[in-house]
Structure 1
Amino acid sequence: MRTREDYLEEVETRLARMFRASRDGHKASPVDRHRLEGFIQAGSFLGLASKDELQSLMARVHFEVFGKSIEERQSEQANSWVLESIDYSQYDQPAYERGRI
């Protein structure tokens, strides 16, 4: 018979595996993400862990893998897509005229 501790250990293992894959540049498949979400929801439904306990576990494992909180990482990812301001005015002139000296 599995115990609450077995369940929490398995959640931690699965979270760590998914976070390490993400850290290493591998996006989790939708199937794997949904399986993990379902496993977590089932444990909550069965009373093996509360939603707050599971969120805390997720935050701790995320910090162990990435060295930063989920919020910090999300903020960094959002900022990494800011487009640079590129001056394209040099291309306003036709190409055949730009080539003249």
Structure 2
Amino acid sequence: MITKTKEVFQQEALNRLIKLFQHSKTSKTDQKNKHRLEGFLHAGEYLGIITHEEGIDMLEQAHFEVFGESIKQKQARKDQYRTALNSDDLDFFDTPAIERLKNK
């Protein structure tokens, strides 16, 4: 019974994460559902259904499914963009975005 509960919980959490990321992909921030999802995951940890590491793994899995890159890859890409912007690196911006994305 515990195994089934864990599987059901993990699938529901993953579905909610994917939905949240898909929503954020359209540039809309859904703080209400983000906070509900955080509470849902914390409840799962508190009840011993999932571990913190399993929650992080689900987060990574959903992020990769929606965005096609890991959270670390996305952060590195954003850091590269910020660095280029702050240093007026025009060569970075001369490269079309589609080409920069291919090289990630």
Q: TM-score, with normalisation over the residues of structure 2?
A: 0.71
Distance in 1 separating the partners of 2:38 and 2:51: 14
Distance 1:28 1:75 in 2: 24
The one-letter code matched in structure 2 to 1:3 is T
1:4 to 2:6 alignment: yes
Which ranges in structure 2 are unaligned for 5 or more consecutive residues? 89-104
**Percent pairwise identity:** 33
CA apart distance, 1:76: 1.9
**Corresponding residue of 1:43:** 44
Match of 2:61 in 1: 60
1:27 is matched with 29
Name the structure with the higher helix share: 2
C-alpha distance in 1 between matches for 2:43 and 2:69? 28
Please state if 1:16 is matched with 2:18. Answer: yes
C-alpha displacement at 1:84, in angstroms?
A: 6.3
- Could you list the runs of 5+ residues in structure 1 that have no partner in the other structure? 86-101
Count of residues paired in the alignment: 85
Which residue of structure 1 lines up, in the alignment, with residue 95 of structure 2?
A: none
Tell me the C-alpha RMSD between the 2 structures: 2.2
CA shift, 1:61, in A, is 1.2
Look at both structures and tell me which one has the larger radius of gyration over its CA atoms: 1
Partner amino acid, structure 1, of 2:14: E
**Greater Cα offset, 20-29 or 63-72:** 20-29
CA deviation vs aligned residue, 1:80-100 (integer Å, no higher than 9, x gap): 342463xxxxxxxxxxxxxxx
Q: What is the alpha-carbon distance in structure 2 between the residues aligned to residue 35 and residue 77 of structure 1? A: 27
Question: TM-score w.r.t. structure 1 length?
Answer: 0.72
